[in-house]
Amino acid sequence: MDDKKLTEGDENSPQDETSVENAEEETTKEAENIKKKVTEAYKQDEDFKDKYLRAMADMENLRRRQIQEREDSVTRTRSQVFTDLLPIIDAFQMGIAEAEKDESAKNIFIGVSMAFQQMKNTLGEYGLEIIDPEGKEFDPKFHEALSYESSQDTEEGIVLKSVRIGYKMKDKLLRPASVIISKGTTEDK
């Protein structure tokens, strides 16, 4: 009987081997197919991660750009308002200077001076800076020379007098200070 079993096994053997080979090929194909799908999934995952990171970076850049644009808009608006207020500030200063000369207007002078000082302080808090270069070296970036005068006491190139005060906001010049500059002594060298 054992011989018979061996013989029967031998008869089924080529068929079994073919089915085993077919099964192995199918399993290999399925494994390769699964590997291919996994590889594609990883690539797609990397693409999604890359797109996500790019979208997040774009959102952050947009947020920063919007903040910068708002700050620039505020700065432009303040600059324009300050520029429009400069003639009014000049008028106040001239009025105060005249009221100071008149003894009968002393109380008015004190009140207007206090209000004007309060206004200057408030404008200063919003970034307006006064350029009053009297006694300092002439700087063409911030000063406008109206004329030269001889001076025994002051070196050449030093501002003798501010005719009109200048203003700036941060690094932006709103109006240069109009000045008279010393040309030194008139003696020949």
For range 144-166, the mean pLDDT: 89
| CA torsion, ordered 148, 152, 156, 162, to nearest 10 deg | -50
Mean pLDDT over each residue of the chain, to the nearest integer: 85
- Look at residue 15 in the predicted model and tell me its pLDDT: 64
- Which has the closest alpha carbon to 165: 187, 188, 133? 133
Q: What is the residue type of 6?
A: L
Q: Are 155 and 188 in contact (CB under 8 A)?
A: no
How much is the pTM? 0.64
- Per-residue model confidence as pLDDT tens digits over 26-83: 888 888 888 888 888 888 888 889 999 999 999 999 999 999 999 999 999 999 999 9
With both helix axes pointing from N to C terminus, report the angle between 2-101 and 106-125 in degrees, rounded to the nearest 10: 160
Choose among 98, 131, 129: nearest CA to 112: 98
3-state secondary structure of 187: coil
- Is 60 exceeded by the pLDDT of residue 2? no
